[in-house]
Amino acid sequence: MIRLIHRMSLICLLSLAVSSGAAQAAPVAVADTLGMDWSLVPEYRIVPGDRLRLNLGPKADPNLDNLHEVVVRPDGRITVHPVGDVVAAGLTPMDLQRSITALLSADFRAPRVTVEVLATAGNQVHVLGRVEKPGSYVAGPFFTITQAIAAAGGFKDDANKGHVLLIHRDGARTVRVASLRVDRMLKGEEFIDAPVSRFDIVYVPRTSIGNVTVFLQTLFAGLSPAVGTSLLGWELFNLDRVFVTRVVKE
């Protein structure tokens, strides 16, 4: 009987050792952030300040290409000979190719156009209001609102951390704005740190904001022309409409 118990104990110990070893040998699944399907990522859209190369097809000399380098102006346009000014901002390179091709087809038979983005405008976000160092900061991949505020030196003592505005330019004269509880993010009560896109404005107020639309109209009306033109991505901006996408919950 004692031998039987001893034998069963050994079997149990061996089975535990085997299962433990198997558990340790099992590979740990690690998410590969670069393994995403990049074909699902939205195409790049041209903005003021981007430098483009236009290939308008071969010249009379077959060894030469009709190449032109242009910079997208603050009004979002480029000049293309011989058709004149063409709107480029807001379009993908393929959209711009189609647009220029259609315009040239009035003067040329079967024109060929290729648009290449040589250099993009600075990838910046603007942090304004009650932060230690208001200004424009380079935004890396997966940049978030708390990172933007940290880059600006953090909150001032009188900042209202519960009503931070994230302002995104949605068109020539429209914006989308979210009012966020950054105080809860910092305390770990909210686990979603809002992503910040290129040229977004993060505005930290001193007091609570009642009517977001009225506040933004006052804010943009009060920006001097010098300040307005220094905010990359907001050149020649006049606010017509505000879309509030998220409101803070007390």
112: tokens are 């060929």
Helix residue ranges, H only, 26-69:
none
CATH number of the domain within which 90 lies: 3.30.1950.10
pLDDT for 228? 52
Q: How far, in Å, CA of 181 to CA of 210, rounded? A: 15
Collapsing DSSP to helix, strand or coil, 91 comes out as: coil
As for how many domains the chain has, the answer is: 2
Domain presence at residue 20: no
Low-confidence ranges of the chain (pLDDT < 70): 1-35, 59-65, 172, 223-230, 236, 246-250
Half-sphere exposure of 233 (CA within 13 A, CB side): 24
pLDDT for 152? 96
Q: E strands within the chain?
A: 51-58, 65-71, 77-80, 84-87, 114-119, 124-129, 135-138, 164-169, 174-180, 201-204, 241-246
pLDDT for 246? 66
Q: How far, in Å, CA of 146 to CA of 186, rounded? A: 8
Q: Which domain covers residue 76, as residue numbers?
A: 51-119
pLDDT for 130? 95
pLDDT in tens, 173-183: 788 999 999 99
Domain presence at residue 29: no
pLDDT for 54? 94
Q: How far, in Å, CA of 44 to CA of 118, rounded? A: 13
pLDDT for 173? 79
Domain presence at residue 14: no
Q: How far is CA 133 from CA 122, 126, 127, 216, in A?
A: 19, 11, 8, 21
242: tokens are 């505000």
Domain presence at residue 22: no
pLDDT for 30? 46
CATH number of the domain within which 235 lies: 3.10.560.10
The answer on 156 and 107 residing in a single domain is: no
